[in-house]
Amino acid sequence: MSEHTVSPRSPADLRGVAVVGSGRALPRTRVSNDDLSALVDTSDDWIRSRTGIGARRLAGPGESVTTMATEAARAALNHAGWDADQLDLIILATSSPDDLFGTAPRVQAALGAHQAVAFDLTAACSGFLFALVTAAQYIRAGSMCRALVIGADQLSRWVDWTDRRTCVLFGDGAGAVVLEACAPDRDDLLAFRLRSDGSRQACLTLAHRERLRDVQGGFTTEEGGFHPIAMNGQEVYKFAVREVPIVLAQVLRDADLEARQVDWLLLHQANQRILDAVAERFSVAPERVLSNLESYGNTSAATIPLMLDEAVRDGRVQPGHLLATSGFGAGLSWGAAVLRWSGPPPSGSATAEPPST
């Protein structure tokens, strides 16, 4: 157990939120830009220069949101030294669930987290940040003590593999963190802001496919099904480079910090050019900007915890480090937070990343 250990219900002096462990999981199959060039009219040079992406992992047979989320969760629980049955809450941020009724309960069952309530939260690529803040509110309210927050997506299910504008961008994966009640003066969530603008929803969609079905007996209903992902890339790009610096500046101000006091910039991994533009706006040196786009592309709700875990395990992010983080994407939705990493120092060996095939 970590030093933040508390009783099942938290008293008023334990209403802070400590981030005490992380984990990640990736599918086995690695697909390079050159592999995609055989599918659609694209090239390694175009994809790298426009996005920074070199490859992505795609879920294959036997792999799913449930399996990836469960692996990432197990790694995070091990990292924190917790048993699954100590969890009160599991929130799974995903836009590509295995079951529209909820995938989090499958993860709960797979983990054996018998005491935890488990539910999905959908906010596309902002989902992990929204879920993290949601879990933190339960802990701050005193109704939950130990929470698992997972970001997991399998957007390869919903990509049009004939559309070069989108199919080169996305990958599959999962990342997770565990949160624990702690003394308020040690709270690791220093500030957050969340935003939505549904009037710009059409910029990025995975929309219900309207198809009517005549039911015997005389009435007509819609049939279930979705269109593949459709994106106005330029509009989403402009939205990201305009809104992310604004919301980041707000959370830094809320936390009474300057960008130079933050150890790491941890943005949703959508495009290296977005990362570079935001870093430049805050005069953050490139070596303080976390990026794994080259290896995994855009894994939607998974990017932030996946990147965090990688940087924690390889020793870049150390206990006590401050991270300015921002998620953004479909909805449109976006947000930012200032976080402190309080988890164990790097152990290196407990990741759930399989070798690629």
CB of 194 to ligand UT7, least distance (A): 16
Pairing of strands 189-196, 29-32: unpaired
Site for ligand UT7 contains 349 (CB under 6 A): no
State which residue, 108 or 300, has the beta carbon closest to ligand UT7. Answer: 300
Single-letter amino acid code for the residue at 136: A
Range in contact with ligand UT7 (rule: CB under 6 A) among 47-55, 63-71, 85-93, 137-145: 47-55
State which residue, 199 or 221, has the beta carbon closest to ligand UT7. Answer: 199
Site for ligand UT7 contains 56 (CB under 6 A): no
Q: Has 125 been annotated as catalytic?
A: yes
Residues facing residue 181 across a β-bridge: 17
Q: Has 268 been annotated as catalytic?
A: yes
Using CB positions, name the residue nearest to ligand UT7. Answer: 233
- Give me the 218-257 binding string for ligand UT7, x by CB under 6 A, dash otherwise: ---------------xx-xx--x-----------------
Name every residue whose Cβ is closer than 8 Å to that of residue 292 and which is 6 or more positions away in sequence: 269, 306, 307, 310
| Distance separating alpha carbons of residues 256 and 253, to the nearest angstrom | 5
Range in contact with ligand UT7 (rule: CB under 6 A) among 46-54, 137-145, 219-227, 246-254: 46-54
| Distance separating alpha carbons of residues 181 and 11, to the nearest angstrom | 10
CA distance from start to end of the chain: 36
Which residue of the set 4, 33, 125, 271 is catalytic?
Answer: 125
State which residue, 134 or 299, has the beta carbon closest to ligand UT7. Answer: 299
Range in contact with ligand UT7 (rule: CB under 6 A) among 141-149, 160-168, 307-315, 343-351: 160-168
- Token pair 């059409």 is found at 202
Range in contact with ligand UT7 (rule: CB under 6 A) among 42-50, 147-155, 275-283, 304-312: 42-50
**Helices and strands (DSSP H and E) totals, the chain:** 10, 15
Name every residue whose Cβ is closer than 8 Å to that of residue 116 and which is 6 or more positions away in sequence: 84, 87, 88, 89, 90, 108, 148
How many residues line the site for ligand UT7 (CB under 6 A)? 19
Site for ligand UT7 contains 158 (CB under 6 A): no
Name every residue whose Cβ is closer than 8 Å to that of residue 29 and which is 6 or more positions away in sequence: 57, 58, 59, 60, 356, 357
Q: Has 298 been annotated as catalytic?
A: yes
Question: For residues 250-309, which are near ligand UT7 according to CB under 6 A?
Answer: 270-271, 274, 298
CB of 200 to ligand UT7, least distance (A): 12
Express the helix, strand and coil content of the chain in percent, nearest 5 each: 35, 25, 35
| Distance separating alpha carbons of residues 330 and 341, to the nearest angstrom | 27
State which residue, 129 or 270, has the beta carbon closest to ligand UT7. Answer: 270
Site for ligand UT7 contains 329 (CB under 6 A): yes
Interacting residue with ligand UT7 among 50, 195, 200, 288 (CB under 6 A): 50
Site for ligand UT7 contains 96 (CB under 6 A): no
Name every residue whose Cβ is closer than 8 Å to that of residue 22 and which is 6 or more positions away in sequence: 75, 76, 79, 175, 176, 177, 178, 305, 308, 309, 312, 343
Site for ligand UT7 contains 164 (CB under 6 A): yes
CB of 129 to ligand UT7, least distance (A): 12
Site for ligand UT7 contains 70 (CB under 6 A): no
| Distance separating alpha carbons of residues 63 and 273, to the nearest angstrom | 31
Element holding 298 (H helix, E strand): none
Please give the positions annotated as active site: 125, 268, 298
Residues that bind ligand UT7 (CB under 6 A): 42, 46-47, 50-51, 125, 164-165, 168, 233-234, 236-237, 240, 270-271, 274, 298, 329
